[in-house]
Structure 1
Amino acid sequence: MAVGTILCASYWSAWSAREASIEQDRLFKDGSDDYVNMEEMRSSIVNINMLSAFMFVVVASGFLVMLYKLMSYWFIEVLVVLFCIGGIEGLQTCLVAFLSCFRWFQHAGESYVKFPFFGAVSYLTLALSPFCMAFAVFWAVHRRMSYAWIGQNILGIALITTVLQIVHVPNLKVGTVLLSCAFLYDIFWVFVSKKWFNESVMIVVARGGKSGEDGIPMLLKIPRMFDPWGGYSVIGFGDIILPGLLVAFSKRYDWLAKKNLQTGYFLWAMSAYGLGLLITYVALNMMDGHGQPALLYIVPFILGNWL
Structure 2
Amino acid sequence: MSPRRDLFCLWYPLALLYSASWASAGDIVHHDDTLPKRPGCDNNFVLVKVPTRVNGVEAVEYVGVGARFGPTLESKEKHATLTRLAIADPPDCCSRPKNKLTGEIILVHRGNCSFTTKANIAESAGASAMLIINNSTELFKMVCEDNETNLDIHIPVVMLPFDAGRNLKSYMNNNDSVTLQLYSPKRPAVDVAEVFLWLMAVGTILCASYWSAWTAREAAIEQDKLLKDGSDELLQSATTSSRGVVDVTVISAILFVVVASGFLIMLYKLMSFWFIEVLVVLFCIGGVEGLQTCLIALLSCLRWFRRIGESYVKVPLLGAVSYLTLAVCPFCITFAVVWAVYRDVSFAWIGQDILGISLIITVLQIVRVPNLKVGFVLLSCAFMYDIFWVFVSKWWFRESVMIVVARGDRSGEDGIPMLLKIPRMFDPWGGYSIIGFGDIILPGLLVTFALRYDWLANKSLKSGYFVGAMTAYGFGLLVTYVALNLMDGHGQPALLYIVPFTLGTLILLGHKRGDLKTLWTIGEPDRPCPHVRLQPSQS
Match of 1:273 in 2: 473
Give me the whole-angstrom Cα distance separating, in 2, the residues matched to 1:89 and 1:44: 15
What one-letter code is carried by the residue in structure 1 that aligns with 2:343? Answer: R
SS at match of 2:266: helix
Match of 2:111 in 1: none
SS at match of 2:314: strand
Aligned pair partner of 2:220 in 21, 33, 58? 21
Look at both structures and tell me which one has the larger radius of gyration over its CA atoms. Answer: 2
Give me the whole-angstrom Cα distance separating, in 1, the residues matched to 2:317 and 2:243: 18
CA displacement 1:193-223 (0-9 Å, x = unmatched): 0011110000011111211111111110001
- TM-superposed deviation, 1:36: 5.4
What one-letter code is carried by the residue in structure 1 that aligns with 2:245? Answer: I
Aligned pair partner of 1:6 in 185, 188, 205? 205
Match of 1:71 in 2: 271
- TM-superposed deviation, 1:243: 0.4
SS at match of 2:435: strand
Match of 2:427 in 1: 227
Q: How does 1:1-307 map to 2 (within 5 A)?
A: 1-30=200-229, 31=231, 35=235, 37-306=237-506, 307=508
TM-score w.r.t. the length of structure 2 is 0.56
Q: Is the 8 A contact 1:179 1:299 kept in 2?
A: yes
CA displacement 1:37-79 (0-9 Å, x = unmatched): 5234334210001101122221111011011111111111110
Give me the whole-angstrom Cα distance separating, in 2, the residues matched to 1:138 and 1:189: 33
SS at match of 2:488: coil
Q: Is the 8 A contact 1:229 1:289 kept in 2?
A: no
TM-score w.r.t. the length of structure 1 is 0.97
Change (3 A) 1:300 1:52: same
CA displacement 1:114-151 (0-9 Å, x = unmatched): 33432322111111000000100110111000000000
- Which deviates further from its counterpart, 53-62 or 165-174? 53-62
Going by fraction, where is strand more abundant, 1 or 2? Answer: 2
- Which deviates further from its counterpart, 221-230 or 202-211? 221-230
- Which deviates further from its counterpart, 188-197 or 22-31? 22-31
Give me the whole-angstrom Cα distance separating, in 2, the residues matched to 1:37 and 1:96: 25
What one-letter code is carried by the residue in structure 2 that aligns with 1:265? Answer: Y
- TM-superposed deviation, 1:35: 4.0
Give me the whole-angstrom Cα distance separating, in 2, the residues matched to 1:40 and 1:253: 20
Give me the whole-angstrom Cα distance separating, in 2, the residues matched to 1:264 and 1:36: 29
Gap runs ≥5 in structure 1: none
What one-letter code is carried by the residue in structure 2 that aligns with 1:145? Answer: V
Choose between structure 1 and 2 for higher RCO, CA contacts under 8 A separated by at least 6 residues.
Answer: 1
What one-letter code is carried by the residue in structure 2 that aligns with 1:227? Answer: D
SS at match of 2:254: helix
Give me the whole-angstrom Cα distance separating, in 2, the residues matched to 1:170 and 1:212: 42
Give me the whole-angstrom Cα distance separating, in 2, the residues matched to 1:127 and 1:40: 28
Give me the whole-angstrom Cα distance separating, in 1, the residues matched to 2:340 and 2:287: 11
Alignment coverage as a number of residue pairs: 307
- TM-superposed deviation, 1:25: 1.6
Give me the whole-angstrom Cα distance separating, in 1, the residues matched to 2:301 and 2:232: 25
- Which deviates further from its counterpart, 54-63 or 140-149? 54-63
SS at match of 1:113: strand
SS at match of 2:425: coil
CA displacement 1:220-272 (0-9 Å, x = unmatched): 00011212442000000011000000000000001111111122110111111
- TM-superposed deviation, 1:278: 0.7
What one-letter code is carried by the residue in structure 1 that aligns with 2:502? Answer: I
| Percent identity (aligned) | 76
Give me the whole-angstrom Cα distance separating, in 1, the residues matched to 2:483 and 2:428: 16
Give me the whole-angstrom Cα distance separating, in 2, the residues matched to 1:261 and 1:18: 16
